[in-house]
Amino acid sequence: MSEAKDLYLYKREGSYIPRVAAVHDLCGYGKCSLGVAIPVLSAAGCDVCPVPTSLFSAHTKFPSFYMHDTTEMLDGYLDAWVEEKIELDAVYSGFLGSAVQVDAINRLYREHPRALRIVDPVMGDGGQKYPTYTDEMCEATAQLVDGADLLTPNLTEASILTHIPYQGQDASEAYVERVTDTLLGMGAKCVVLKGIARGDGKVRNYLIGRDFGLVEVVKEQLPYMLHGTGDLYASGLLAAIMAGRSLLDAVRFAGDFVYDAMVATRSQPDFELRGVSFEGVLGEVTDLLR
């Protein structure tokens, strides 16, 4: 069996700029989704090609928001990419606007068979689905597990995908092993299970793959929660991967990056609602290329 520290999902070649399709929603206000993925991946020297799954006035933690589902435009949008002969090195999917949008992601997989498949199954948190997500959408999202080069659920999303009952954020290692083994059995090649907190002042993420066993990555837990940290984590993780770092190094980087951004956010007004302010620590991403 190999080790996680020896696994590289992407090999950076010289001055080549890799192209990443980011299949996420776009929020006008609040730090999440494409508003995170575009700057973070760009700082890692990637050409980010957005595929907007929906448009929001603000993220869903706000008591009032407007949502526009973009499903009807996606076929024509991707048809134009085909005409322009756009090539992709990775497909990075997150929050969806409808169950049908899984078809657009599968289309990208078919048209770009060598592209990395990074699936952040953004469906809920804290044991609850997000307000715009239906059971049908969750079932559709589960189809993306099979063949994912890297799957990055939190505990709530892992529970939804596997139908293993959610048992809180203080999940035991036995529970973590059960859930991650199930996700590998569903076809994921590597899994990062995020956000385990056992009341000891630490937050734990677990990495596992078909060819290596469970690896625990531990970070100090801050005494507050912020919207958008899951998107920032997955984007930072992919940034490190596309910069040519090993998968284990990328997991460690993403945890450090989110922690530093959360610390910086504390000084901002309305920080707990608005979301994580990462702008001041983007230099950490740029440094990945040195």
**Which CATH number covers residue 255?**
3.40.1190.20
Q: Is residue 258 part of a domain?
A: yes
For the stretch 219-274, pLDDT in tens is: 999 999 998 999 999 999 999 999 999 999 999 999 999 999 999 999 999 888 88
Q: Is residue 127 part of a domain?
A: yes
Q: Strand pairing partners for 220? A: 202
For the stretch 104-147, pLDDT in tens is: 999 999 999 999 999 999 999 999 999 889 999 999 999 999 99
Query: For residue 111, what are its two tokens?
Result: 């048209």
Q: Judge whether residue 215 has pLDDT over 90.
A: yes
- The long-range contacts involving 212-215, CB below 8 angstroms and separated by at least 24 positions, are 212/1, 212/2, 212/3, 212/4, 212/7, 213/1, 214/173, 214/176, 214/177, 214/180, 215/4, 215/248, 215/251
Q: Judge whether residue 2 has pLDDT over 80.
A: no
Q: How many domains does the chain have?
A: 1
Residues 6+ apart with CB under 8 A from 253: 236, 237, 240, 245, 284, 288
When pLDDT is cut at 50, 70 and 90, the band that residue 1 belongs to is low
Q: Is residue 131 part of a domain?
A: yes
Which H or E run contains 204? strand 202-209
State the pTM of this model.
Answer: 0.96
Give the C-alpha separation, 151 to 20, whole Å: 16
Query: Are 191 and 180 contacting, i.e. CB atoms less than 8 angstroms apart?
Result: yes
Integer Rg of the chain from CA:
18
Q: Is residue 6 part of a domain?
A: no
- Give me the percent of the chain exceeding a pLDDT of 90: 91
Range of the domain at 261: 18-275
Q: Is residue 82 part of a domain?
A: yes
Q: Is residue 135 part of a domain?
A: yes
Q: Is residue 240 part of a domain?
A: yes
Mean pLDDT of 202-209: 98
Query: For residue 30, what are its two tokens?
Result: 């609040």
In terms of Cα–Cα distance, which of 178, 177, 161, 159 is closest to 169? 159
In terms of Cα–Cα distance, which of 111, 176, 101 is closest to 143? 101
Query: Are 253 and 240 contacting, i.e. CB atoms less than 8 angstroms apart?
Result: yes
Left (φ > 0), alpha (ψ -120 to 50) or beta: where does 244 sit? left
Mean pLDDT of 211-222: 97
For the stretch 51-110, pLDDT in tens is: 999 999 998 888 899 999 999 999 999 999 999 999 999 999 999 999 999 999 999 999
In terms of Cα–Cα distance, which of 286, 278, 283 is closest to 36? 278
What pLDDT was estimated at residue 60?
85
